[in-house]
Amino acid sequence: MPIFNLSSFSKRLKDKEWGIRCVAYNNQSNRLAVSRTDGTVEIYNLSANYFQEKFFPGHESRATEALCWAEGQRLFSAGLNGEILEYDLQALNIKYALDAFGGPIWSMAASPSGSQLVVGCEDGSVKLFEVTPEKIQFARNFDRQKSRILSLSWHPAGTHIAAGSIDYISVFDVKSGSIIRKMVLDRQHLGVTKSRCIVWGVAFLSDGTVISVDSVGKVQLWDSATGTLVKSHLIANADVQSIAVADQEDSFVVGTAEGTVFHFQLVSVTSSSSEKQWVRTKPFQHHTHDVRTVAHSPTALISGGTDTHLVIRPLMEKVEVKNYDAALRKITFPHRRLISCSKRRQLLLFQFAHHLELWRLGSTLATGKNGDTLPLSKNADHLLHLKTKGPENIICSCVSQCGSWIAYSTASRFFLYRLKYEHDNISLQRVSKMPAFLQSAVHILFSEDSRKLFVASNQGSLHILHLLEGSFKHLHTFQPQSGTVEAMCLLAVSPDGNWLAASGTSAGVHVYDLNHLKLHCTVPAYNFPVTALAIAPNTNNLVIAHSDQQVFEFSIPDKQYTDWSRAVQKQGFHQLWLQRDTPITHISFHPKRPMHILLHDAYMFCIIDKALPLPNDKTVLYNPLPPKNESDVFLRRTAHAFKISKIYKPLLFMDLLDERTLVAVERPLDDIIAQLPPPIKKKKFGT
Amino acid sequence: MVQLRPRSSRVPAPAEAMVDEDQLGPEEEEEAEHGLLLGQPSSGAAAEPLDEDDDDDAPEELTFACAQAEAREEELRVRESVRRDKTLLKEKRKRREELFIEQKKRKLLPDAVLEQLTTASEADIKKSQENVKVHLKKESEHIAKGRNSKKVKIQEVHSASQNKSYLAVRLKDQELRDSRQEAAKHFIHNCLYGSESKRTTVNKFLSLNNKRLPVKKAAAQFLNSTWGAQKQQNARRFKKRWMARKMKKKTYK
């Protein structure tokens, strides 16, 4: 099977805008909200193998600077456009945006009880908001300061607030709103005086200690009762940009602009004494660029920054069971599919934040042996560059199998285009007058014959449109089924056009009968979210991949799991298979070999051969390509169903175009790093 | 005293004499006219020929009555012309005013829409009560604290149609908001990547390790494809032309 190596044009993901800006950890549901510099907010479920369940698309004018959870499960964000936004986690859209009338908002913090929110603004005012069941309500302003309020922190009792500004920290009393203490910082650093000292983060402990991190590189402990400096730690040559304190207040974590994350712990002075002090215990260097945000969960340190990685480092002393769960997790690649493929015309549609690109694949006439890289006789062609109208980001997109329809959706509009090909030229025509119910889609899919369009909207309903030449007709809408929205909806359609599978609710995967337009059956619910769905060509088996690396096969006509799936569940997957970091994002099938299933995640692609025996924990999972002169006995002994290949650099997409060709889109890590903003200079001896 | 005949003065009569027709008597007017005509510095012989005519002939006999009549006519004429000018100006101003009023009328929305809006707003006043309260509260807070807030709260105008397809916003507010956001972004960029920060390029950062290896390796991004952009373009064009020539030669042969 000759394979085209497509690393000649790599996908430019505009990584400058993909850097992480803020992170907020919710203890109750063990979820992490991550906000990026382009305004996208992603929700990761840390207990479901760190899978990205939901996301809210970004907006050009939104520059989010602060993110916080309040009153349990409500998510708020505030940014430089001066507005406070609340996100609806069930409907997957923004509930409302409230202008705070203080100019750009730099920081936001929720009170320990969760019923109050306080924001720090550009004009130096600190505003208090009450969290009501539907909205938030402005309560009052605190004393106005001279310079912008860059960081805020509540006292655990909810009586005082520490606010970090430029060159000083102020402590407010919440009841009266007046300033009690003002602590002035020193701008000097080893003899070099900077023009200003910015307090990037503050934390208020219950014994009245205020911890501040500033741009000079110091971590300082102040006593808020007297306003004096207790201890000062100089930890970096560059800014220390973030701080997060654990709930038990015995440890906190800070992130610096050099990419180092330091862990501070409250340790007793001598082993027998009761006196304790804060000591810097562990440095972690997992980032190359600024660490703009950190969070402290009960068992792990979470950090994210400009280099777009999200690093979750479980702390060994807090983890009970020392198994693979205690390993470092680094989330770099998106957990959803951003590329769609048109098999008949050999086209690939790339989805970026503000535009779509359509490429035609190159071809080669040469032949070679296994493992060769063949030269291209016809280069890949950039057919279309489609820019979206408006400031919103694109949520999802799809190209039909015949290549003549493209559809994409933003948070408020849906776009459908018709493509016509004449002798190497392509013309685009927009289908205007979209129906009113089709506003924002979470997933879009075309049927195999390109006559029907399936749209999963964010309200939970599923729309089916019949596509005619240049226009469409609304066929049917499946109303939302019961169950809460657990994750983003995924769709899969069978090649013969009879069945449609939809996941996303807590009730399980629903399978709809398209001929009779009703619900056919529901796959039993599983407690981990679905990461990929696909229906096999002739057997109509639904293959589901979950975030804990389990793969199920469900027979739709029989309405039950297949025998092979039951056998796999009985034996269990190989240990190394379950320990993979990244979720499976795409499943496809070979048209002539019904026993093969192809799946891939970010670092490997695998062909599961259902005819071969399953591996148990003792066999080697990652078989290298057996050399030609190996004896048959050895081959028979080590052959098992999972054929895994890791020869590709990080994979974004892989699919079978036809029987003899496979397309793979890689995203090398070097390319990502090459486009990031400048890091802090490090001085190394001898250079 | 002997009433001497006033001689033609060497200096021309002052300008006021000519303009102020009401005050000037008929005789003085005449004299002034004369004065102007003959108002040239005479230098002996040169002035003589002009004066000669006057000196030889007898002075013209003008009766008081006809001179007075002439003067009165003159006055009337001047008054008429002034009146005409004033009326013309008045008309002009009137026309301009009317034009302005029309233009303003054209700018406003048609009456029908305005009526609808007012009735719709009255109907929806209950719905927006809360919003207005909250925002008014904020405004009072601002005023109470003595803040010089230039921003007026955006009054949500509920549209006449049911769809609520538009929202009336003051453009000045949006510009102010944008400029503040730009200033904030500039501030943070300056803090992190400004002149005081010690930043280096990604290439240098990644190549640092290569420099310290026992066998020194090249930098991580060794080639800079942007150098010599013009030369690269020339080379490409030359290659195309050379290929074309080669093809032509082949076919010719």
Chain A residues touching chain B at CB-CB below 8 Å: 61, 63, 80-82, 99, 101, 103-104, 106, 122, 137-138, 140-141, 144, 148, 194-195, 198, 215, 237-239, 257, 288, 290, 670, 673-674, 676-682, 684, 686-687
Q: Given this model, what pLDDT does residue A41 score?
A: 95
For the ranges A103-112, A355-364, B116-125, B205-214, the lowest mean pLDDT is seen at B116-125
The closest alpha carbon to B145, from A247, A4, A126, belongs to A126
Tokens of A454: 């399936």
* SS3 annotation, A238-252: CCEEEEEECCCCCEE
pLDDT at site A373: 64
Q: What distance in Å separates the CA atoms of residue A290 and residue B191, rounded to the nearest whole number?
A: 13
DSSP conformational letter for B199: B
Of A81, A215, A674, the CB nearest to B202: A674
Which of A122, A195, A237 faces B180 most closely, judged by CB atoms?
A: A122
Strand bridging mode A661-666 / A3-5? parallel
Q: Which residues of chain A have pLDDT under 50?
A: 1-10, 627-630
Contact residues on chain A for B197, CB-CB shorter than 8 A: 238-239, 257, 680
Residue showing tokens 């990584």: A15
Mean pLDDT score across all residues of chain B: 71
Q: Which residues of B touch A682 (CB under 8 A)?
A: 200, 205, 208
Q: What are phi and psi of A173, to 5 degrees?
A: -100, 125
Which residues of B fall within a CB distance of 8 Å from A677? Answer: 193
* A673/B206 CB distance under 8 A: yes
CB contacts of A137 in chain B (<8 Å) are 134
| Set of chain B residues whose Cβ sits within 8 Å of the Cβ of A242 | none
Q: Quick one: which of A561, A517, A528 has its CA closest to A542? A: A561
Chain-centre distance for alpha carbon A460: 21
Q: Which residue has the higher pLDDT, A210 or B55?
A: A210
Partner-chain residue, chosen from A101, A237, A680, that has the shortest CB–CB distance to B151: A101
CA distance A69 to A80: 19
CA dihedral in degrees (B156, B160, B165, B171; nearest 10)? -40
- CB A104 to CB B151 under 8 A? no
* Closest Cβ opposite residue A238 in set B185, B198, B204: B198
Confidence at B157, pLDDT banded by 50, 70, 90:
very low
Q: How many CB pairs under 8 A join A and B?
A: 89
Q: State the complex-level ipTM.
A: 0.85
Farthest-apart Cα atoms in chain A, separation: 85
Separation of alpha carbons A620 and A631, rounded Å: 18
Domain ranges of chain B: 63-108, 178-222, 225-252
pTM (two decimals): 0.77
Query: Taking the CB of residue B124, how many other CB atoms lie within 10 A of it?
Result: 15
For residue A470, give the nearest of A383, A404, A389, A402 by alpha carbon.
A404
Confidence band, pLDDT 50/70/90 cuts, at residue B212: confident
**Per-residue confidence at B10, pLDDT binned at 50, 70, 90?**
low
For residue B25, how far is the Cα from the chain centroid? 50
The edge-to-edge listing of strands for the beta sheet with A20-26 is A20-26, A31-36, A41-45, A51-56
> Which of A99, A200, A213, A291 would best serve as a mutation to test chain B binding (most B beta carbons within 10 A)?
A99
Hey, what amino acid is at A438? L
The SS3 call for residue A666 is strand
The count of other CB atoms within 10 Å of the CB of residue A232 is 13
Give the per-residue pLDDT at A593.
Answer: 86
Classify each residue of A504-516 as buried b or exposed e, where b means 16 or more C-beta atoms within 10 Å of its C-beta: bbebbbbbbebee
Q: Where are the alpha helices (DSSP H) in chain B?
A: 15-19, 26-37, 48-56, 64-107, 111-123, 129-144, 171-193, 202-212, 229-252
Rounded to 5°, the CA angle A253-B201-A673 comes to 65
Reading the block at residue A275, the tokens are 């006196």
Distance from CA of A62 to the nearest CA of B (A): 10
Q: How many degrees, rounded to 5, is the angle at CA A433 between CA A430 and CA A435?
A: 125
Q: What percent of chain B clears pLDDT 90, i.e. is strictly above it? A: 19
More confident residue, B13 or A512: A512
Q: What is the model's pLDDT at position A375?
A: 66
Q: How far apart are CA A163 and CA A108, in angstroms?
A: 10
Q: Concatenated DSSP letters for A601-632?
A: -SS-EEEEETTSPPP-TTS-SSPPPPPTT--H
d(CA A33, CA A40): 10
C-beta atoms of B180 and A104 within 8 A: yes
- For β-strands A605-609 and A642-645, DSSP reports them as antiparallel
CA-closest candidate to residue A313, choices A336, A337, A281 = A281
Is pLDDT above 70 for B147? no
Is B202 close to A215, i.e. CB distance below 8 A?
A: no
Q: Which of A681, A683, A684, A685 would best serve as a mutation to test chain B binding (most B beta carbons within 10 A)?
A: A681
Residue A239: closest C-alpha in chain B: B192
Rounded Cα distance between A561 and A543, Å, is: 10
- Beta strands across the sheet bearing A586-589: A586-589, A596-600, A605-609, A642-645
